């Protein structure tokens, strides 16, 4: 089944605010959540395009101890993607996941903790489904808990889609 046909089928399935995408899961190496989420989203659009080790070498900043949001966005642009970073809302999550587009978001799990990237792979009435490269795939996080962590990180969201999509 082609990706476009799959997306059309998924959009038809995404009713009543519920949708789940078939995003491949990639576990992170130490401080490598940026590379792992990039590999997941790249792998969703083109399974052959995702190389987590290569992405980690490209994106990881030893001085920062992680990946800058701008570097993550730029990695998608270099690979021929439309990549837009913006302050999002839960309505944005529902809209884009419902249209078959996985999203990268930044979370702050607790006060004073470093930022952490995850992939929004699904939405349900009471939860957001996350591929967390440190904790595991398809974790259902209650919307209120998700919103607290996301708000603490400025509600940063990255939408990356191939130019041909």
pLDDT digits (tens, 9 = 90+) for 115-145: 999 999 999 999 999 999 999 999 999 999 9
Terminal CA-CA length for the chain: 15
31 found inside a domain: yes
Q: What is the pLDDT of residue 5?
A: 37
CA separation for the pair 11, 100 (Å, rounded) = 6
22 found inside a domain: yes
CA separation for the pair 91, 76 (Å, rounded) = 23
91 found inside a domain: yes
pLDDT digits (tens, 9 = 90+) for 20-47: 999 999 999 988 999 999 999 999 999 7
CA separation for the pair 57, 55 (Å, rounded) = 5
Q: What is the pLDDT of residue 51?
A: 85
**Structural domain span for residue 52:** 18-162
120 found inside a domain: yes
Q: What is the pLDDT of residue 111?
A: 87
List, in order, residues 6 or more apart from 128 with CB less than 8 Å away: 90, 93, 120, 122, 140, 141, 143, 146
The pTM of this model reads: 0.87
Q: What is the pLDDT of residue 78?
A: 94
The chain-wide mean pLDDT, for the chain, equals 89
pLDDT digits (tens, 9 = 90+) for 42-79: 999 997 777 888 888 888 888 887 899 999 999 999 99
Region 98-103: mean pLDDT is 98
> How many domains would you assign to the chain?
1
15 vs 51: which has the higher pLDDT: 51
12 found inside a domain: no
CATH label of the domain that carries residue 143? 3.90.70.10
* pLDDT band, residue 17 (cuts 50/70/90): low
1 found inside a domain: no
118 found inside a domain: yes
Nearest of 153, 107, 164 to residue 132 by alpha carbon: 107
5 found inside a domain: no
Q: Which residues pair with 119 in a beta bridge?
A: 104, 131
Range 67-92 burial, b when 16+ CB lie within 10 A, else e: bebebbbebbeebebebebeebebeb
Question: Angle 160-137-36 (CA atoms, 0-180°, nearest 5)?
Answer: 45
Helices (H), 17-159: 33-45, 52-59, 69-78, 90-98, 143-152
17 vs 133: which has the higher pLDDT: 133
Instruction: Characterise 127 by phi-psi region: left (phi > 0), alpha (psi -120 to 50), beta (else).
Output: beta
Angle between helices 33-45 and 52-59 (to 10 degrees): 130
């Amino acid at each position: 089944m082609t990706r476009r046909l799959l997306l059309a089928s998924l959009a038809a399935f995404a009713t009543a605010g519920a949708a789940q995408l078939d995003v491949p899961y990639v576990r992170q190496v130490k401080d490598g959540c940026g590379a792992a989420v990039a590999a997941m989203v790249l792998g969703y659009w083109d399974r052959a395009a995702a190389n987590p080790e290569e992405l980690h070498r490209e994106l990881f900043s030893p001085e920062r101890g992680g990946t800058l949001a701008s570097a993550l966005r730029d990695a998608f642009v270099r690979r021929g993607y439309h990549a837009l970073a913006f302050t999002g809302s839960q309505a944005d999550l529902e809209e884009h996941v419902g249209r078959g587009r996985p999203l990268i978001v930044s979370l702050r799990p607790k006060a004073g903790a470093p930022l952490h990237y995850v992939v929004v792979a699904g939405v349900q009435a009471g939860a957001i489904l996350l591929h967390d490269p440190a904790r595991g795939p398809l974790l259902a996080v209650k919307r209120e808990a998700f919103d607290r962590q996301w708000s603490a990180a400025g509600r940063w969201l990255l939408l990356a889609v191939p130019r041909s999509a």
